[in-house]
């Protein structure tokens, strides 16, 4: 099996097996020109700002195409935690309110709500590995069900339709983080009330900008509790009557978006749109399933479900010596990701089956996991 993406398009050193997309993907070489375009527009005076705004609109359209939603439902924040915070701050929380989460949910999805003090919010946490465990927590008083589509810790994929049904049953919002999925899995963002994604992983962008999705059909009257100059509708002066907010999801974007990362993101989206999303999913999951099969034969345990319908593009190996193991693999030319007591191996379109062989050979050479 050949790579789906041309590895020469990426800044991957010769001889390196780059399988750390769950942390950072290798950069596209064409990002250099995207950054130079931004710098030229930044230096071009007022017409340059018009070019920057056009780049924002092009990126919104590209994300909307990828997520199957309207461009008016796409805005930008600096990171997922900021987006979840804006939603959390907009709600009229009551004593006894709760959120339903997995016990190992990503901190950016939980932290903006968990640290609220007035009133404190109950955290109902699901534990274990049963597919429906978070949906079962939904009960009266649950204001938000918050979930990553794919877990950063284990690579497990969440049944969002089950969470949508659970949220509707109790009148809760469904807030989804697509960071570990967007760029290789088909995204049905409309299942969520609000959704977010970082852009520096499988979406091939860089840090500094994240996607914010507002489901305007489900939450037509939503408004943030704070704003900045960019989230107000243009043209207003003075505050005797507060200026209206922008009518679309750009009300998430309180100040200038991070224009340089948006230029890079737009370049990345143009690259991704050259490939069928379903083909990208098939490609990466052929690699995950092959690796999981070989790890099972080697009796190396993983926390990633074997069923491709229940995992994404990552295979996670729990290990007490995960940090040491990442270093040993890197010294053997295999770039993986370390943290939280596991080594994460994540595939993208520039990988192929030879990379699976390199990973297995390197793991054998490293000794006991």
| pLDDT tens string 245-267 | 999 999 999 999 999 999 999 99
Please name the residue that has the structure tokens 């340059």: 48
User: Which of 88-97, 124-133, 232-241, 281-290 is least confident?
Assistant: 232-241
Cβ-contact 148, 109 below 8 angstroms: yes
How far is Cα 266 from Cα 211, in angstroms, rounded to an integer? Answer: 12
Say what the pLDDT of residue 42 is. 98
pTM: 0.97
Confidence tier at 26 by pLDDT (50, 70, 90): very high
Residue 146's DSSP bridge partners are 175
Sign of the CA dihedral with 124 first, then 129, 133, and 135 last: positive
According to CATH, where is 3.40.640.10 located in the chain? 32-272
User: Which of 69-73, 234-238, 305-309 is least confident?
Assistant: 234-238
Say what the pLDDT of residue 6 is. 98
Query: How many angstroms separate the Cα of 132 from the Cα of each of 102, 135, 349?
Result: 11, 5, 30
Mean pLDDT computed over 11-24: 97
Give the DSSP letter string of 41-60. HHTS-HHHHHHHHHHHHHHH
Burial class (CB in 10 A: 0-12, 13-18, 19+), 100: buried
Considering the domain 7-28+277-366, what is its CATH architecture?
Answer: Alpha-Beta Complex (3.90)
The average confidence (pLDDT) of the chain is 97
Mean pLDDT computed over 106-111: 98
Mean pLDDT computed over 148-176: 98
- Tell me what percent of the residues of the chain surpass a pLDDT of 90: 96
Query: Does 236 have pLDDT greater than 80?
Result: no
According to CATH, where is 3.90.1150.10 located in the chain? 7-28+277-366
| pLDDT tens string 193-214 | 999 999 999 999 999 999 999 9
- Phi, psi (degrees; rounded to nearest 5) at 162: -65, -40
Mean pLDDT computed over 56-68: 98
Q: What is the CA radius of gyration of the chain?
A: 21
Choose which CATH entry (3.40.50.300, 3.30.1280.10, 3.40.640.10, 3.40.50.970) describes domain 32-272.
Answer: 3.40.640.10
Cβ-contact 249, 220 below 8 angstroms: no
259 closest CA partner among 81, 85, 76 = 76
Give the DSSP letter string of 277-315. HHHHHHHHHHHHHHHHHHHHHTT---SS-SSGGGB-SEE
Confidence tier at 237 by pLDDT (50, 70, 90): confident
- Phi, psi (degrees; rounded to nearest 5) at 32: -55, -45
CA angle 84–88–90, rounded 5-degree value: 120
How far is Cα 100 from Cα 188, in angstroms, rounded to an integer? Answer: 21
146 closest CA partner among 87, 223, 202 = 87
């Amino acid at each position: 099996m050949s790579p789906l993406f041309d590895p020469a398009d990426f800044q991957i050193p010769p001889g390196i097996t780059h399988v750390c997309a769950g942390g950072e993907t290798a950069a596209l070489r064409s990002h250099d020109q995207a950054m130079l375009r931004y710098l030229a527009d930044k230096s071009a005076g007022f017409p340059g700002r018009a070019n920057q705004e056009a780049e924002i609109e092009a990126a919104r359209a590209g994300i909307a195409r990828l997520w199957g939603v309207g461009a008016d439902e796409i805005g930008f924040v600096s990171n997922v935690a900021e987006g979840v915070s804006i939603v959390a701050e907009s709600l009229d929380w009551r004593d006894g309110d709760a959120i339903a989460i997995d016990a190992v949910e990503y901190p950016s999805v939980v932290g903006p709500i968990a640290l609220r003090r007035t009133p404190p919010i109950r955290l109902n946490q699901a534990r274990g590995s049963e597919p429906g465990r978070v949906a079962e927590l939904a009960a009266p008083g649950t204001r938000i069900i918050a979930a990553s589509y794919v877990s950063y810790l284990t690579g497990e994929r969440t049944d969002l339709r089950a969470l949508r049904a659970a949220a509707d049953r109790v009148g809760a919002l469904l807030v989804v983080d697509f960071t570990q999925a967007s760029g290789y899995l088909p995204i049905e963002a409309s299942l969520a009330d609000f959704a977010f994604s970082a852009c520096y992983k499988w979406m091939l962008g860089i840090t500094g900008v994240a996607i914010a999705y507002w489901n305007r059909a489900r939450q037509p009257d939503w408004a943030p509790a704070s704003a900045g100059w960019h989230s107000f509708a243009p043209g207003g002066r003075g505050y005797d009557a507060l200026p209206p907010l922008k009518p679309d999801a750009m009300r998430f974007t309180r100040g200038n978006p991070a224009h340089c990362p948006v230029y890079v993101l737009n370049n990345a989206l143009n690259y991704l749109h050259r490939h069928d999303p379903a083909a990208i999913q098939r490609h990466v999951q052929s690699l995950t399933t092959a690796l999981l099969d070989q790890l099972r034969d080697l009796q190396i345990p993983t926390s990633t479900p074997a069923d491709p319908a229940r995992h994404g593009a990552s295979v996670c190996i729990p290990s007490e010596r995960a940090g040491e193991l990442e270093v040993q693999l890197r010294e053997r030319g295999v770039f993986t990701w370390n943290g939280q007591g596991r080594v994460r191996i994540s595939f993208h379109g520039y990988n192929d089956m030879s990379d699976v062989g390199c990973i297995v050979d390197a793991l054998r050479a490293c000794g006991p996991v």
